Amino acid sequence: MHQATQASESELSRRAFLAATGGILTGAAAFGVMAQAGAAQRHPTRGGTLRFATRADISGLDLHRNIIYLVSMPLAAINQGLLDLDARSEPVPGVAAAWEATPDLQRYTFQLRQGVLFHNGREVDAAAVKWNFARMQDAKIAHPLTRSALENVQEVEVVDKYTVRCHLHTPSAAFPADVVYYPCALMAPDSADRADLHPIGCGPFKFAKWDRNNITELVRFENYFETDAEGNSLPYLDALLGRPKREDRVRLTALRTGEADLIDSMAYADAADFATKYAGKFQTWEVPTLATSFILFNLEKGPFTDKQVRLAAAHAIDHEAINQAVFHGRGEVARGFYAPASPWHAQGVEAWPPYDPDKARFLLRQARAVGTEVALQALPTPPYMQQTAELVQAMWAEVGFKVRFNLYDEVALNQNRRERTFHADSTAASYRWDPDGWFSRQILSTAPATRANSGFRNERADRLIAEARRTAERQKRLELYAAIDSLVNAELPLLYLYHLTLLEAGSMRLKGYQPSVSGAFSIRGGGIRTAWME
């Protein structure tokens, strides 16, 4: 399936007028779709109920108002979008069977499958897509992440019942990644008034019940359009029970006592030897591109406005020591945003300043900044953010900084960022389907998040980001992103630390399950859609 998608992308570059036609090719690949909803039969033997213990729970049920994180929030299984994700976390056909772009990459036309249904029986047509996109663009309703995915959309045109065309403000090769079901999940237009109580999506599972921090109950959607290679309808499972258990050890205990069939986000200390220690008793799955952690510098206020001080701070960081102490050797040192396991990993990125505490001391003395007070902040969860910050605090103190480290809850931390009262932040960002999703939000000087986080302003970086966005050819884009990451490593609005690798574990009774490289558990032809309980 992936090769088919890649083939389509090569064709794109040659012709330069199609942004992507992977949908058509992918449709002919191993996993298919029903021509008409309800036409395929269930697999005769595969089914069961999967009990999934997760670190997180959703904040609310409205699919546009809340972020339904597709790695650790079971409700994500009710979602589907214009486009879906595959095992490599690349956009592939979802509700839209195919799409094409105009040569200027400013208009995208999506051809919808016929007969795709929302869980209440209403058909997913072009009018429903238009209504959804309008709601996702409403600042009073949509979550900022969802809204930012569609901020480039100028107009959504209903061409006919099964054709929808998006007119963009500026050319974008990244647009297909913006309409994937995370964060742009489609919900039934006639269900908006009960969206906070009973969400109606069009994904492989239907909502049944949610009791916050206790249970999410989903049941198989019998009319879901996807099928397996033999033409059996997906998903195989009868039901999915999400059980949020915030503490890592509580989830692990639930797995070991047989109360859970699948757990996410194992603690790094446990993950280090779990696979070998419990080989034959439990299964494990590596998720090598979950997210990337970094130290964010405030370039507008405080000591890190001085580049020399940032260089000193970077020279003081021993990446390998953090890897051993915090990640038990399971993290991968990050020199750019994308990990080697990602299709968007760029070669040739010039790395950040190497670990050299003597040079850090020298630079600090030269900048007359020895003893400078630094306000370092982090969230208490996930724990690696705090643990990393504590090590960074020690490393910086060793070269002459005076570090004041504070843990804040999300509200206070965001307020500090907004009011520019922090100097550095130990944080992370989850995987983005297209590099533009990272660089245009966190590096581009005009992006609201950049302004509120690092405050980085660099004309060259802005130019490269804009160029990469309007470039259709994948290899050329990769080169541009490598150049931007090299610039980031030289200017240091942030210091990349690690690509976070997550370990999932499950019972031996769970069959056919494989998450995507970024941890998504509901993916085309995989994840929980092809899982069943023995």
Partner 1 sequence: MLAYTINRILYLIPVLFILTVVVFSFVHFLPGDVIDVLGGQEGVFDPAVRQALQQEYGLDKPLYVQYLVWLNRVLHGNFGTSLVTRRPIAIEFFQRIPATVYLALVSTAISLMIAVPLGTMAAVKRHTVVDYAAQVLSLVGISIPEFWFALLCVLFFALYLGWLPSSEYYSPLDHFGLSLKHMILPAAALGIRQAAITTRLTRSTMLDEVQKEYVDTARSLGLPERRVIYRYTLRNAMIPTITISGLQLAQLLGGTVVVETIFAWPGVGRTLFEAIISRDFPVIQAGVLILGIAVVVMNLLVDLLYRVLNPRVRLA
Q: Which of 42, 451, 474, 476 binds partner 1 (CB under 8 A)?
A: 451
Q: Which of 247, 273, 320, 398 binds partner 1 (CB under 8 A)?
A: 247
243 belongs to the binding site for partner 1 (CB under 8 A): yes
Stretch that binds partner 1, among 20-28, 54-62, 112-120, 471-479 (CB under 8 A): 54-62
CB neighbours (10 Å) of residue 216? 27
Contact code string over 399-438 relative to partner 1, x by CB under 8 A: ----------xxxx-xx-xx--------x-x---------
212 belongs to the binding site for partner 1 (CB under 8 A): yes
Stretch that binds partner 1, among 16-24, 125-133, 137-145, 502-510 (CB under 8 A): 137-145
> 140-155: b or e for each residue (b if 16 or more CB lie within 10 Å)?
ebbbebbbbbbebbee
Would you say how long the chain is, in residues? 534
Half-sphere exposure of 406 (CA within 13 A, CB side): 12
Task: Report in angstroms how near the CB of residue 245 gets to partner 1 at its nearest.
Answer: 5
Please give the Cα distance from 264 to 204 (Å, whole number): 20
Task: Report in angstroms how near the CB of residue 293 gets to partner 1 at its nearest.
Answer: 13
269 belongs to the binding site for partner 1 (CB under 8 A): no
308 belongs to the binding site for partner 1 (CB under 8 A): no
Strands, E assignment, 316-423? 332-333, 373-378, 402-407
CB nearer partner 1, residue 45 or residue 257: 257
Q: Which of 28, 44, 45, 257 binds partner 1 (CB under 8 A)?
A: 257
Q: How far is CA 209 from the centre of its chain?
A: 25
Please give the Cα distance from 125 to 405 (Å, whole number): 52
In contact, 9 and 434? CB cutoff 8 Å: no
Q: Which of 93, 244, 353, 515 binds partner 1 (CB under 8 A)?
A: 244
Using CA atoms of 301, 307, 312, 313 in order, give the dihedral in degrees to the nearest 10: 40
Task: Report in angstroms how near the CB of residue 1 gets to partner 1 at its nearest.
Answer: 31
Stretch that binds partner 1, among 118-126, 169-177, 207-215, 326-334 (CB under 8 A): 207-215
Task: Report in angstroms how near the CB of residue 504 gets to partner 1 at its nearest.
Answer: 18
Please give the Cα distance from 184 to 198 (Å, whole number): 18
Please give the Cα distance from 136 to 119 (Å, whole number): 20
CB nearer partner 1, residue 104 or residue 247: 247
Task: Report in angstroms how near the CB of residue 35 gets to partner 1 at its nearest.
Answer: 39
CB nearer partner 1, residue 325 or residue 452: 452
Task: Report in angstroms how near the CB of residue 443 gets to partner 1 at its nearest.
Answer: 15
Contact code string over 169-198 relative to partner 1, x by CB under 8 A: ---------------------------xx-
Tokens 């009073």 correspond to: 140
CB nearer partner 1, residue 59 or residue 170: 59
Task: Report in angstroms how near the CB of residue 421 gets to partner 1 at its nearest.
Answer: 10
Task: Report in angstroms how near the CB of residue 46 gets to partner 1 at its nearest.
Answer: 26
383 belongs to the binding site for partner 1 (CB under 8 A): no
- Structure tokens, 477: 């884009």
Q: What is the largest CA-CA distance in the chain?
A: 74
321 belongs to the binding site for partner 1 (CB under 8 A): no
CB nearer partner 1, residue 160 or residue 196: 196
Half-sphere exposure of 433 (CA within 13 A, CB side): 25
Q: Which of 24, 145, 192, 325 binds partner 1 (CB under 8 A)?
A: 145
Going by C-alpha positions, the residue among 313, 340, 68, 16 that lies closest to residue 180 is: 68
Q: What is the DSSP letter of 104?
A: T
How many residues contact partner 1, by CB under 8 A?
Answer: 45
Please give the Cα distance from 302 to 320 (Å, whole number): 28
Stretch that binds partner 1, among 87-95, 140-148, 170-178, 263-271 (CB under 8 A): 140-148
Q: How far is CA 149 from the centre of its chain?
A: 12
- Structure tokens, 3: 């090769």
Cis-peptide, bond into residue 343, ω within 30° of zero: no
Burial of 459 (0-12, 13-18, 19+ CB in 10 A): exposed
Task: Report in angstroms how near the CB of residue 211 gets to partner 1 at its nearest.
Answer: 6
CB nearer partner 1, residue 26 or residue 453: 453
- CB within 8 A of 250, min separation 6: which ones? none
Amino acid at 116: V
Residues contributing to the site for partner 1 (CB under 8 A): 59-62, 65, 67, 139-140, 143-145, 148, 196-197, 211-214, 243-247, 249-250, 253-254, 256-257, 259, 409-412, 414-415, 417-418, 427, 429, 441, 448-449, 451-452
